[in-house]
Amino acid sequence: MTARSVSITFAGSGGAGVMTAGNMLLDAAGRAGWHGYMTRSSGAQIRGGEAAAMLRLSTEPVESHDDYFDLLVAIDWQNVGRFSAEIPMTSDGLVLGDPEGGDFPEQISAKGTRRAEIPFKKMSKDIPGGRANMIALGAVAALIGLPEDAVNSVLHEALKKKGAEALTSSEASMRAGMEYAANLPASARLETDGVKAESLWSITGNEAAGLGAVRGGIRFVAAYPITPGTEVLEWLAPNLAKLGGVLVQAEDELASINQIIGASYGGTPSLTATAGPGLALMMESIGLAVASEVPIVVVNVMRGGPSTGIPVKSEQSDLNIALYGLHGDAPHLVLAPNTLADCAFTTQWAVQLAEALQTAAIVLSDQSLGQSRATIEAPADPGFFACRLRPEGPLEGRYRRYLNTPSGVSPMAQPGMKGYQYTADGLEHNEIGTPSSHTVDHSTQLDKRLRKLTAYDYGEHWADIEGEGDIAVVTWGSTTGPVREALARWREAGNQARLVSVRLLSPVQPEKLAAALDGVKRVLIVEQSHGAQFHRYLRAHYDLPGSVRAFHRPGPLPIRPAEVFGQLANWS
């Protein structure tokens, strides 16, 4: 049976090499001209524990997981049952496991899925230096119809540094897996006529966010490690150095946010990346950036909350703190990427906006975008670049850093500019920057800081709008992937519907959303939060036409396309 996409999970105890097998399968699929998407799931253990690499391979671009998995390959069964809810399967699916790999988990057998055995342990013992994960890779490649050449070239690339011995044993293991697959029942296969696209990239969302940052001109980053945002920083560390920029590891998030404010005050476009707990610590100083009008970008890779929550699983529940977490009236930018590739685009746009508007921008990515790897068309550089308004010409009279201009944006001097010395201040201030508690100064500066955001023309990128008809699904961030797929099926079934995925969450764009929803009779809101944060946000700031329903659920389970489809189909 051939399919448009196949979904595979490699599972096993930590150290069994399931992530390596997943990464290689993804890269091999890319070399065969296929698109792919891979998420990872793991237990809380630092090392060991259970791990799963979940892949979806397709001949077309994929942005999310399918409703069900076609294949589950367990190198052993150690605690794999814990992932059961994250690996939905039907009786059409196929579970492969080692008869010596421990007890078959009840949660898996309860699904009624077809089962078959591969003796990983025994087979790897028969091959000098044999590796169970490479046997699994070979078996899966053969089952889904992935050309051997593609797997071989990835294997050579990955193992050339490890020496001939490692390569030989891995190759032998992989081939043994491929040969063994002839004994296995058939599984879903992909068409193999894929042509390798020249411009395919293998990239994670966190790497893409880092790339967007440097494309936008970021050259200073302060970093404090936190799951699942750390990889943004880890990608930036060597790459910023190559560009002549700097990454500094800070002592805590209070330091990292203030270091980037200091560097940006000095004229260098600056960014940090974090996750919920870190964002909460940074809030006071993000307000400082707003009040002192120092541009900064904070990439927040969301995870389950509150408090420490579920650090390794995705959720869209930092929307409220990003929008409303600052004390005082503090208008700022909040943006959200809605695909893995869009992590680059949106972060880069955020850099440009923060710099142009001299304010703080929060970019709300999440674990499912940030820590997933995908094979995608190389995202072109959209050209957004940091461009800060500087004072020009000879200084006439005293420099007014916080001059109340019609646009609300005032020319910003930087240290070294003779005659332009001023004090940036989080205290309310007058146009010069001198602290002031006068009513007129407060209202003037509040108006100015709001006006510069509301008067700016954000153009078409505020949302992705697709389709037509009198039904609309409004969503944001990573849930856009399953919604988009559900709507494709909806249209294939002969229906119509619109998608509105909001990228610019603050400042709000009520006229643009009203136009996007013009003539709509039903609005379905989809989000991954327990408290329906996005639904409430829309209700507070927008007039939604017709009848409105919200489909919201907390993490860690991703929203599946079939669930969104079901919401539309069962709406009577």
Partner 1 sequence: MEAVSACPSFSARDYKSDVKPVWCPGCGDYSVLSSITKAMAELSVPPENVALVSGIGCSSRIPAYTNVFGFHGVHGRALPIATGLKISRPELTVIASGGDGDGFSIGGNHFMHACRRNVDMTYIVMDNEVYGMTKGQASPTTAPDWEKSKLTPEGTGINPFRPLVIALASGANFIARSFSGDPNHSARMIAEAIRHPGFSFVQILSPCVTFRPEQRDWKAGIRQAPVDATTDAARAARRLMTDDGFNIGVLFRGDRKPFQPSMKARVESVRDLEKEFRI
- By the criterion CB under 8 A, which residues form the site for partner 1? 27, 30-31, 200-203, 207, 211, 214-215, 219-220, 222, 239, 241-246, 248, 250-252, 254-268, 270, 284-285, 287-288, 292, 375, 378, 381, 414-427, 433-435
Least Cβ distance, residue 348 to partner 1 (angstroms):
10
Burial of residue 503 (CB within 10 Å: 0-12, 13-18, 19+) is buried
Least Cβ distance, residue 383 to partner 1 (angstroms):
12
Q: What burial letters (b/e) apply to 293-325, b meaning 16+ CB within 10 Å?
A: bbbbbbbbbbbbbeeebbbbbbbbbbbebbbeb
Q: How far apart are CA 338 and CA 315, in angstroms?
A: 13
Residue among 251 and 396 whose Cβ is closer to partner 1: 251
Cβ atoms within 10 Å, residue 19: 19
Q: How far apart are CA 410 and CA 358, in angstroms?
A: 9
Residue among 112 and 266 whose Cβ is closer to partner 1: 266
Residue among 143 and 376 whose Cβ is closer to partner 1: 376
SS3 203: strand
Q: Decide: 37 and 64 in contact? Cβ < 8 Å.
A: yes
Residue among 421 and 496 whose Cβ is closer to partner 1: 421
Residue among 199 and 439 whose Cβ is closer to partner 1: 199
Residue among 246 and 569 whose Cβ is closer to partner 1: 246
Paired residues of 302 in beta bridges: 366
How far, rounded to the nearest angstrom, does the alpha carbon of residue 155 sit from its chain's CA centroid?
27
Residue among 258 and 529 whose Cβ is closer to partner 1: 258
Residue among 106 and 193 whose Cβ is closer to partner 1: 193
Half-sphere exposure of 417 toward its Cβ, with a 13 Å CA cutoff?
A: 19
| Position 566, amino acid | G
Least Cβ distance, residue 260 to partner 1 (angstroms):
6
Rg (CA), the chain: 26
Least Cβ distance, residue 254 to partner 1 (angstroms):
6
Least Cβ distance, residue 209 to partner 1 (angstroms):
13
In which element (H, E) is residue 452 found?
helix 439-454
Residue among 198 and 511 whose Cβ is closer to partner 1: 198
Least Cβ distance, residue 119 to partner 1 (angstroms):
32
Half-sphere exposure of 237 toward its Cβ, with a 13 Å CA cutoff?
A: 10
Least Cβ distance, residue 195 to partner 1 (angstroms):
13
Residue among 104 and 422 whose Cβ is closer to partner 1: 422
Q: Decide: 307 and 279 in contact? Cβ < 8 Å.
A: no
User: Residue 45 is encoded by which pair of tokens?
Assistant: 């253990």
Q: Decide: 177 and 139 in contact? Cβ < 8 Å.
A: yes
SS3 572: coil
Residue among 55 and 211 whose Cβ is closer to partner 1: 211
Half-sphere exposure of 145 toward its Cβ, with a 13 Å CA cutoff?
A: 21
Comparing CA positions, the residue from 80, 248, 71 lying closest to residue 146 is 71
Least Cβ distance, residue 419 to partner 1 (angstroms):
7
User: Residue 250 is encoded by which pair of tokens?
Assistant: 């800070």
Residue among 254 and 550 whose Cβ is closer to partner 1: 254
Least Cβ distance, residue 66 to partner 1 (angstroms):
22
Least Cβ distance, residue 28 to partner 1 (angstroms):
9
Least Cβ distance, residue 438 to partner 1 (angstroms):
15
Comparing CA positions, the residue from 18, 93, 9 lying closest to residue 57 is 9
Residue among 77 and 399 whose Cβ is closer to partner 1: 399
Residue among 129 and 262 whose Cβ is closer to partner 1: 262
Least Cβ distance, residue 255 to partner 1 (angstroms):
4
CA angle 24, 30, 36 (to 5 degrees): 85
Least Cβ distance, residue 479 to partner 1 (angstroms):
25
Give the full edge-to-edge strand order of the sheet including 522-527.
463-467, 498-502, 471-475, 522-527, 547-552
Q: What burial letters (b/e) apply to 481-501, b meaning 16+ CB within 10 Å?
A: bbbbbbbbbbeeeeeebbbbb
Q: How far apart are CA 417 and CA 332, in angstroms?
A: 27
In which element (H, E) is residue 523 found?
strand 522-527
Q: How far apart are CA 534 and CA 488, in angstroms?
A: 23
User: Residue 178 is encoded by which pair of tokens?
Assistant: 């491929």
Least Cβ distance, residue 50 to partner 1 (angstroms):
29
